[in-house]
Amino acid sequence: MKTSWGRAVWAVAGLLLCTGLLLPVSADTQLVESWAWTYGGAMCDLGASVRETADGGFIVAGSTNSFGRGDFDVYLLRIGPTGMLLWEQNLGTRADEFGADVRETGDGGFIVTGWSWSPASSTDVYLVRTDDAGRKLWERSYGGTGSDYGHAVLPLDDGGYAIAGSTGSFGPSVDMYLVRTGEDGRRLWEKTYGGAGDDAGFSLLSADNGDFVIAGTTGSFGPSSDVFLVRTGSNGTVLWEQHFGGPGIQEGRAVARAGDGGFVIAGGTDPLLSGHWDAYVVRTDSHGRLQWERAIGGGGSEYGAAVAMTGDDGFYLAGRTSSVGPSTDISLVRGSSLGTPLWERTFGGARYDSASSIQGTSDGGVVIAGTTDSFGRGDDVYLIRLAPLSGTLVVTSTPPGASLFIDGVARGVTPVSLGNVSQGRHTILLRYPGFEEYRAVTLVESGASPAVVDAMLVTVTETLPVPETLPVTVTPTPTPVPVAGNLFPAFLRVGYREGGTGSLVPFRLPDLAHLLSFF
């Protein structure tokens, strides 16, 4: 592991090469850089995907030829909350394996997809399952005689997996590819989507009712390529498909689910086919119908590789830019719910740096994974952690020992002193048996002075006994009137005296059945 900065490569739809070339294939929360680390060996190490793990750390997948038996292997890294490398594994065979996406599984292990290649065979989708230490449990490959790539993977509720990518094995052109496997990785079914042109899937979401949503690129609906969005049922049957773009080239690289059920897609556009790219963002409703589209760029070239949603239905767009300095840097754009850029930050050094993945974190920040060529001995995995501005919160209570909840999340018992609490207003709840709940809203600000909540808990008020009901005196009045020879009361008045006040209340007929014997 290197603790200095490292180096980068941009990977699109073909082989990952250490050349830096692009190959075919609410109120805003202020974020500050918490840490940035590089990982790898003396040669080429590429970061493709990052996810936050259940314990607040991170899992990163990519590719390496610094370690392993083949020229390239899948590179899997377990990172602690502060960026420290906990372990690293290279996964593969004597062929070349490239990692594209990783997810944590329900048992704490990991599932990684990508592709494998060797001179003696075609390129195949590659899937590898590991335990919680990154040790390989099994590996599978999928595809046919053509070139097949895996770009995104999802663990499913039944223990199986879904993989999205592209395939050249089942027709005259390249198609978007979806593979469904069992728990052991055995293929259950596979589907292709697209038309006569070349189509590919790069990002995969699980939607309502077990549906799948795949984002990618299509060359089947015009003279060049468009962003491609496909929704299928749980069995892979197409429910709808949409494509977006205009003149020139538009590519879809990543998709995120918006708060209203719609989708935000990130990618790139070169409308004049000039080689000058802008980042491209598309927002749709839940049926994939276009709501807006935006090209985001400057004087150089930009590309959007990854997208994550914000709490106010805006988005973070991560990728690359050459508009800011003499080299290509990692770009992070904060956009509004209408697609308007609010701010942009760049990361990197004097050489080529690029992002390939972004994920929102549990504290309201983000983590970005990519590759850097600006620091160190070779191309290295590059991980950047951004967190909200934070301060210190101190909560005490009388009596001590109350259970503390901050914004609905349990945070221990009082007295408590918490650092790295995000800047802004927070709801405080204290619970202690025999005492009333204590609620307050406090403002945490960054700086040396902590926010202090000192609560005096109040004992629960004893419940007063319910007074006994006074006897009710029933007095028949007026005198019953005979009807057809029968003595039957038309109505009775009930005298009820309480506290010296009398009132007459009529009874309904069924209430008097037990009194008929009096007449």
Q: What is the pLDDT of residues 290-316, one digit of tens each?
A: 999 999 999 999 999 999 999 889 999
Residues 439 and 511 in one domain: no
Report the half-sphere exposure of 491 (CA within 13 A, side-chain side).
Answer: 7
Residues 275 and 339 in one domain: yes
Instruction: Phi first, then psi: give them for residue 208, nearest 5 degrees.
Output: -60, 150
Q: Of the candidates 430, 456, 482, which is a domain's last residue?
A: 456
Cα separation, 30 vs 345, whole angstroms: 12
pLDDT tens-digit series, residues 193-219:
999 999 999 999 999 999 999 999 999
Residues 403 and 486 in one domain: no
14 inside domain: no
Cα separation, 365 vs 310, whole angstroms: 9
Residues 483 and 449 in one domain: no
For residue 502, the model assigns a pLDDT of 37
Residues 272 and 372 in one domain: yes
- Mean pLDDT lowest among 10-14, 160-164, 221-225, 345-349: 10-14
For residue 425, the model assigns a pLDDT of 87
Calculate the alpha carbon distances from 519 to 426, 485, 504, 510, 515 in Å.
Answer: 71, 12, 21, 16, 8
| DSSP-based three-state secondary structure for 516 | helix
For residue 1, the model assigns a pLDDT of 38
Residues 414 and 442 in one domain: yes
| Better pLDDT: 513 or 408 | 408
| Better pLDDT: 368 or 423 | 368
- pLDDT above 50 for 487: no
Cα separation, 199 vs 422, whole angstroms: 43
Q: Indicate which CATH number applies to the domain containing 378.
A: 2.130.10.10
Residues 448 and 483 in one domain: no
Out of 409-413, 443-447, 504-508, the most confident range is: 409-413
201 inside domain: yes
Residue 317's domain comprises 33-388
Mean pLDDT in residue range 401-429 = 91
Residues 281 and 426 in one domain: no
For residue 13, the model assigns a pLDDT of 31
Longest CA–CA span in the chain (Å) reads 116
Cα separation, 201 vs 210, whole angstroms: 18
Mean pLDDT of the chain: 85
Q: Of the candidates 388, 410, 437, which is a domain's last residue?
A: 388
- Mean pLDDT lowest among 5-14, 49-58, 323-332, 384-393: 5-14
Residues 419 and 307 in one domain: no
- For the chain, what is the domain count? 3
Say what percent of the chain tops pLDDT 90.
Answer: 72
> What is the DSSP-derived secondary structure letter of residue 210?
G
Cα 146 to the chain's mean position, in Å?
Answer: 33
Residues 368 and 493 in one domain: no
Residues 167 and 249 in one domain: yes
For residue 467, the model assigns a pLDDT of 57
Model confidence at 286, in pLDDT bands (50, 70, 90)?
very high
Region for 275 from its dihedrals, namely left if φ exceeds 0, alpha if ψ lies in -120 to 50, beta otherwise: left
For residue 323, the model assigns a pLDDT of 94
Q: Indicate which CATH number applies to the domain containing 402.
A: 2.60.40.1120
11 inside domain: no
Say what percent of the chain tops pLDDT 70.
Answer: 83
For residue 302, the model assigns a pLDDT of 97
For residue 423, the model assigns a pLDDT of 81
- pLDDT above 60 for 58: yes
- pLDDT above 70 for 514: no
pTM (2 d.p.): 0.77
Residues 357 and 421 in one domain: no
N-to-C CA span, the chain: 102
For residue 516, the model assigns a pLDDT of 37
- pLDDT above 70 for 19: no
Mean pLDDT in residue range 401-428 = 91
- pLDDT above 90 for 49: yes
Closest CA to 446 of 418, 428, 424: 424
Token couple for 414: 């009082």
- pLDDT above 80 for 42: yes
496 inside domain: yes
For residue 311, the model assigns a pLDDT of 87
